Chains A and B, each alone.
Chain A
Amino acid sequence: EADIYQTPRYLVIGTGKKITLECSQTMGHDKMYWYQQDPGMELHLIHYSYGVNSTEKGDLSSESTVSRIRTEHFPLTLESARPSHTSQYLCASVPSGTYNEQFFGPGTRLTVL
């Protein structure tokens, strides 16, 4: 059973607020990912990390930023939320190795009013 957590599960917030979406995993996985998904649509990779102090932007341009100070923690921050940021944000992790499955968290559904 994968142990990857995301908080909050749901967040409704006003325009201009700073928010941080939390993602933690207790499996010691080196690789972590953030995806953005609108209802019924594809998942888009927005950030990834291959280990501590490593962060890269994904295929979809995003105004969010991430940090990876500890192996188990990969938070995503929006400095000034806008209605266009309304979406579901999914975090995933992968252990190092030749092939390993991605373990996903339950997601955070963000609504910006």
Chain B
Amino acid sequence: DAKTTQPNSMESNEEEPVHLPCNHSTISGTDYIHWYRQLPSQGPEYVIHGLTSNVNNRMASLAIAEDRKSSTLILHRATLRDAAVYYCILGAGANNLFFGTGTRLTVIP
């Protein structure tokens, strides 16, 4: 299974943009890049996914490198509610995703 590498933790000031990086140098051609987040004391929730092109939705944007070996989740204006563990995951669909330890995002008021 292709794995991802993320920083253990990051901090951001409230109302500022946040760029969460993810490296996935062994990604295969059929792997989607998925992002989930886990708020304290809750189950993970889906954030966004993409294959090759950059993606935007109401929660975030996903920027995918041209060679697909890295990607960046962008939160345009961090709020205190965005404090969570963010997981970058590879998989050909939503089945059997491997959730690593993710990046713990702290938002500073």
Q: Which of B43, B96, B100 contacts A90 (CB 8 A)?
A: B43
A-side contacts of B94, CB under 8 Å? 94, 99-102
User: B98 to chain A: which residues have CB within 8 Å?
Assistant: 42, 45, 59
Contact with B along A40-78 (1 / 0, CB 8 A): 111101001000000000110000000000000000000
B68 CB within 8 Å of chain A: no
Contact of A106 with B43 in the complex, beta carbons under 8 Å: yes
Cα–Cα distance between A92 and B32 once the two chains are bound (Å): 19
Return 10 A-B CB contacts under 8 Å, by A number: A35-B99, A94-B95, A99-B32, A99-B93, A102-B36, A102-B44, A103-B46, A104-B45, A105-B43, A106-B43
Bound CA–CA A92/B94 (angstroms): 11
Chain A residues contacting B46 (CB-CB under 8 Å) are 101-103
Q: Is the CB of A106 within 8 A of B42?
A: yes
Size category, B interface: 10 to 19
Would you give the 0/1 interface string for A84-113, flagging 1 where the beta carbon is closer than 8 Å to chain B?
A: 000000111010001111111111000000
Judge whether B99 and A43 touch: CB under 8 Å.
yes
- Alpha-carbon distance between A24 and B34 when the two chains are bound, in angstroms: 24
Inter-subunit contact B43/A45 (CB<8 Å): no
- B99: contacting residue among A42, A91, A103, CB under 8 A: A42
Q: How far is the CB of B43 from chain A (nearest CB, A)?
A: 3
* Chain A interface residues (CB < 8 Å from chain B): 31, 35, 40-43, 45, 48, 58-59, 90-92, 94, 98-107
Please give, as numbers and ranges, the residues of chain A lying within 8 Å of B44 by CB-CB distance. Answer: 43, 90, 92, 102, 104
B108 interface residue (CB < 8 Å to A): no
- Chain B residues with CB under 8 Å of A42's CB are 98-101
Q: How far is the CA of A102 from the CA of B46 in the complex (A)?
A: 7
Q: For residue B42, which residue of chain A has the nearest CB? A: A106
**Assuming the A-B contacts A35-B99, A42-B99, A45-B96, are A101 and B49 also in contact, with contact meaning beta carbons closer than 8 angstroms in the complex?**
yes
Q: Determine the chain B residues whose CB is within 8 A of the CB of A102 once the complex forms.
A: 36, 44, 46, 94, 97
- Measured between alpha carbons, how far is A103 from B46 in the docked complex, in Å? 7
